[in-house]
Chain A
């Protein structure tokens, strides 16, 4: 009997320990492989050589002078960036013999989980793309390095990038990343559905009420067509309406949330109302089939979406002809769009800090920004390059995104614990969007939890 119990314990323990197996760190050798040694040292600039030998002095890994083959890993999520990055990689490798850039794309859904696990195990890419909600978490944990010193000795000037982006990637007064792109939100609509319902296309003067009235006319239950997509979406949806109804997500000194304010609740309620009225698919439906998928299959007539969706919409030639974009509707006589953008950050565990910085520096250059613009994947952050991007989409009213960014943008709300309160916000509000609890109740719960987190920062 004893033995049976013991074997049962072992058997169960074995299976339970499998759970932790996935948590323990992985050690894949990434940084320095010496496969292509034939590369010469001659072409490397002398100054850089001196610098990197200095660096090597306190590095245990014997990665001699800069001529040695170096693999630089770069992680990102947006698949439409592929062409741009391949071109940058080719240019960068030509200018830096011996360096191989390894591009590591990961789907958005897994990107952050994978990045954090890799960073925990010390096998994270040398340079990776960062976003607003996560920069505080990575910076305060020391996973990414501040770049102030490198910026000081570089030709790059932060004035060339939108101020909102520079601020977004500043944590405790230190700069952690340089913006790759910036984005704002527009009202995309399906012209075919508007024509079929005999509704005029959205205009620049549209108010929220005009939009709701149009959504009512466009909704056709018999054919499963909805006026608008109103599922849970922070950056895409309610971040753009909360400031207009007089509320805020985060106060200016990042010490308290605005979720207990009736004005903030109002900015979210107007979305949930659209679901209640049946003008939008339910939250359940939008969870199973993303808003843009339903939009592209002609089931949704309007959706709030960022400029970057243009690259996705034109992939479907038929659909590309059917849609266009307009300014977001006004609420209380005003309009605003949240502005956000990705940035490149350098891993603190990278053994090739010098080369990592050179790659970041190259991606921030005007040349790389021009490549990004021409690829049509995102609005380049470098001043004056945005036009190149808009030119890729002559059929769409893309100018609105630049105008919104310059004249009516709202900085993306972020603090050190954004990643955590982002989860709280989602978990509470998704219940409200699913009509299980009221928006008021969800917001009060968020306020309580979020304020506690902010107090701990």
Chain B
């Protein structure tokens, strides 16, 4: 009975997983031509490559910006949408919409908004007397653009998860708090937040993993043929370029293994730390 699952996992998970580790120790060039075992040469090259370090820095910046912003905004919206207001379901749909929109469509629309010569954003900027700029290809703003789109896309999805968590909290706590004369903020801080920590924990883990794997927004909005790619590319983007643009599959596998190790280390660390702040009551 478990054969289908096992076979599926074997083909799509275990085989590629071990294959990528093996490949990272080989010199594999264009058309998958394996030029033999090279030991840790790909790793040595990777750690002595300035572009790799810049890429790691970019990726950590994404995590530092996108994860907290997405979480706080999602939490804020979730709390707001937990109240009884008119048109509640309409608001919920609006906030959830980006989560179910194809990332290609999202990226293309944002690319036009940010376009330096014909974009809406620049029309607004010049309209109110501010200077126009090449948002996506300017060193100081390109990463910010990617982050804005990523956060905008994340908020709806995580808002729904957090909202479900909030609604799972027993009304009894709030009633007791009201009898004791607690304010709205106190109720949120003393009841909602602690009881929501398991959900927040899950959201943080998923956000970190997905942000470490940022790819489509960068690929679609910056593209591989832009100077800005140097300071916006994530590890996954670098992996893609190494494997498919530069035909260095062995080296790319080493990059993938590094990403795996980083994400695993962070996730294990979070699992250990959860005792300190997550309430499972």
Contacts and interface: CB of A to CB of B under 8 A. Distances in A.
B12 A16 contact: no
Interface stretch (A48-56, A112-120, A307-315, A327-335): A112-120
Interface in B93-120: 115-118
B247 interface: yes
Given A423-B245, A431-B227, A21 B12 contact: yes
Interface of A is mostly: helix
Given A116-B247, A288-B116, A420-B246, A14 B13 contact: yes
B244 A117 contact: yes
B117 A289 contact: yes
B244 A13 contact: no
A284 B31 contact: no
A119 B31 contact: yes
Contacts of B17: 13, 16-17, 20
A224 B19 CA distance: 53
Given A13-B260, A284-B134, A288-B136, A23 B249 contact: yes
Interface range, A side = 35 or more
Contacts of B23: 20
B117 A299 contact: yes
Interface stretch (B52-60, B81-89, B262-270): B262-270
A152 interface: no
A19 B259 contact: yes
Interface in A102-154: 109, 113, 116-117, 119-120, 137, 141, 143
B104 to A, nearest CB: 13
A12 B244 contact: no
B152 interface: no
B19 A20 contact: yes
Interface in A11-44: 11-17, 19-21, 23-25
B48 to A, nearest CB: 15
A284 B227 contact: yes
B13 A17 contact: yes
B32 interface: yes
A232 to B, nearest CB: 9
A294 interface: yes
Quick one: which of A8, A11, A282, A285 has the most chain B CB within 10 A?
A8
Interface string B234-262: 00100100011111010011001101100
A383 interface: no
A395 interface: no
B16 interface: yes
Given A12-B209, A288-B136, A19 B226 contact: no
Contacts of B190: none
A17 B20 contact: yes
Contacts of B263: 12, 15-16
Interface string A390-428: 000000000000000000000000000001100100100
A174 interface: no
B271 interface: yes
18 contacts: A8-B264, A16-B257, A16-B259, A17-B13, A23-B243, A23-B244, A23-B252, A24-B19, A120-B31, A224-B117, A283-B137, A285-B117, A285-B134, A287-B225, A287-B227, A289-B115, A289-B116, A299-B117
Interface of A: 1, 4-5, 8-9, 11-17, 19-21, 23-25, 109, 113, 116-117, 119-120, 137, 141, 143, 224, 281-285, 287-289, 294, 299, 419-420, 423, 426, 430-431, 433-434, 436
Given A1-B271, A143-B31, 7 more contacts: A4-B271, A11-B209, A12-B267, A284-B138, A287-B223, A294-B117, A433-B227
